[in-house]
Amino acid sequence: MSSTYGEKIKISVFGESHGNGIGVVIDGLPAGVKIDMDKVLVQMSRRAPGKDKTATPRKESDLPKVLSGMLGDTLTGAPLCAVIENTNTKSGDYGNLLNCPRPGHSDYTAYVKYNASNDIRGGGHFSGRLTAPIVFAGAICRQILEEKGIKIAAHIASIGNVNDKSFNPVSIDDKLINKLSNSSFALIDDSVEEKMRAEVESARLAQDSIGGTIECAVSGIEAGIGEPMFEGVEGVIAKAVFGVPAIKGIEFGKGFELSKMRGSQSNDPFEYKDGKVVTKTNNCGGILGGITNGMPVIFRAGVKPTPSISKEQDTVDLQKKENAKLVIKGRHDPCIVPRAVPVIEAVTAVAILNLL
C-alpha cells in the first residue's frame, strides 16, 4: 500500500483512523523558508471534526507534532515529518463491519485486495481522517507559494440543490481569498448558508447524508507553467484532488458545459491589459494545452454523500456468503463538503508547488 504524491515535492501519508496517530512526510521542500505555524493551525482547525452540526461529533484537536525538517520556525531542507495523535476513537462501533462491508465504502475492495487484513475501524487508512496530515502538508506548501505571489482559495459551490455564487473567472479579489481561506464554512455569498445548513439538517434527520461541489481558484500564477499531454496542469491537479476521499468528479473552467457550446462561444479572446496578455473570458479555467495562460486556474470538484448513514442498508456477509442487512453505528458527517474545502485547497497547493 502506497499513499504518496508528487515528484519534486513528494508527500507520503501514513496511519489509520483509529490507530495511535496519523501523519505525513514531505520531501523536497526548500531550506531556509520560515513557516508561520499559527497559519498552519488555522487550516488544521478548518478541517478538524466536532465543531459544527454539519460534521461528525468526533472531536480531535488535530495538533501536528513536527518530528523533523524544521529548526525553530525554519525549514531545514530535510524531510519534514509531522504526526497527529488520535485521541477520540470508538473502535467498538465497527465490530459488525468485519464481515459485512458498508455500501459506498472501501470495505469490500480493501478486503479483496489486502486479503481481509485491512483495518476496518473508522475506515482505517481509507478514512477521511487521513486528510488531516494532507492539510498540514498543504498549509506548508501554501506559505511557500504565497511568497511567490500565488494564492489559493476554495468555497462550497453547492450542497444538494443549494448553490453559492461562482468566482469571477478573470479577476479574484485578494480580500475574498483571505476571507475564504480562514472560513470553516466558506462561501462567497453568505446569504445561502442558512439554506445549505437546512439541506444538511434535513438529510441528518432522515438518517441520511448529502453531497455537493467545491470550487477552487489559484490566482497569481504566471503563464507557461506545466507540460503538454500527460504532465498537463489539469492532470497534475486532478491526480492530487482524486486522492481526497469522496471526490468523484472534476472539471476545469466551464468543464462539461463547453460540450454544449460552439467554438466561437467557448474560445477566450486575447487582449493586452496594462501591458500584459490576458483573456476577456476564462472558459478554459486558466489552462491551454496543459499549460497555464496567466489567468486564474479554476476548477470544481464533485463530492459524493457520506456513505456512512444510519438507515438500514443491503449488504452481504462475506463469511456466511449470504445476503445481509446492515445498520452502521459510529459518528459520521451528514455532509463532508464544508470540511473538504481546506483539503481541496491543500492538495492544490501541493500540486502547484510541484508544477513550479
Q: If you search the block for the grid coordinates 508544477, which residue do you land on?
A: 355
47 is in an annotated binding site: yes
17 is in an annotated binding site: no
pLDDT tens for the 356 residues of the chain, in order: 679 999 999 999 998 878 888 999 999 999 999 999 999 999 999 998 766 666 665 556 789 999 999 999 999 999 999 999 988 655 555 556 778 899 998 889 888 988 888 777 767 777 888 999 999 999 999 999 999 999 999 999 999 999 999 999 999 999 999 999 999 999 999 999 999 999 999 999 999 999 999 999 999 999 999 999 999 999 999 999 999 999 999 999 999 999 999 999 999 999 999 999 999 999 999 999 999 999 999 999 999 999 988 899 999 999 999 999 998 877 678 999 999 999 999 999 999 999 99
306 is in an annotated binding site: yes
Tell which residue, 191, 192, 184, has the closest CA to residue 160.
192
CA 114 to centroid of chain Cα atoms: 25
> Do residues 186 and 155 lie in contact, with contact meaning Cβ atoms separated by under 8 Å?
yes
User: What pLDDT is recorded for position 110?
Assistant: 87
127 is in an annotated binding site: yes
Q: Which sign does the torsion angle of CA 238, 23, 217, 308 carry?
A: positive
Residues 6+ apart with CB under 8 A from 128: 245, 246, 333, 336, 339, 340
Beta-strand relationship, 270-273 and 276-279: antiparallel
pTM: predicted TM-score of the whole model, two decimal places: 0.93
Q: If you search the block for the grid coordinates 482547525, which residue do you land on?
A: 45
305 is in an annotated binding site: yes
Burial 83-110 (b: 16+ CB within 10 A, else e): bbbbeebeeebbeebebbbbbebbbeeb
266 is in an annotated binding site: no
30 is in an annotated binding site: no
Tell which residue, 336, 332, 328, 333, has the closest CA to residue 93.
328
Domain count for the chain, please give it: 1
CA distances to 28, 143, 150, 277, 348 from 31, in Å: 9, 13, 19, 34, 21
> Do residues 334 and 202 lie in contact, with contact meaning Cβ atoms separated by under 8 Å?
no
> Do residues 35 and 143 lie in contact, with contact meaning Cβ atoms separated by under 8 Å?
yes
CATH number of the CATH domain containing 66: 3.60.150.10
Beta strand segments in the chain, E = 4-5, 10-15, 21-27, 64-68, 70-71, 74-75, 80-85, 151-159, 162-163, 212-219, 247-252, 270-273, 276-279, 287-288, 291-292, 297-303, 313-317, 322-326
72 is in an annotated binding site: no
User: What pLDDT is recorded for position 59?
Assistant: 59
Provide the residue range defining the domain that includes 128.
4-355
Intra-chain end-to-end CA distance of the chain, in Å? 28
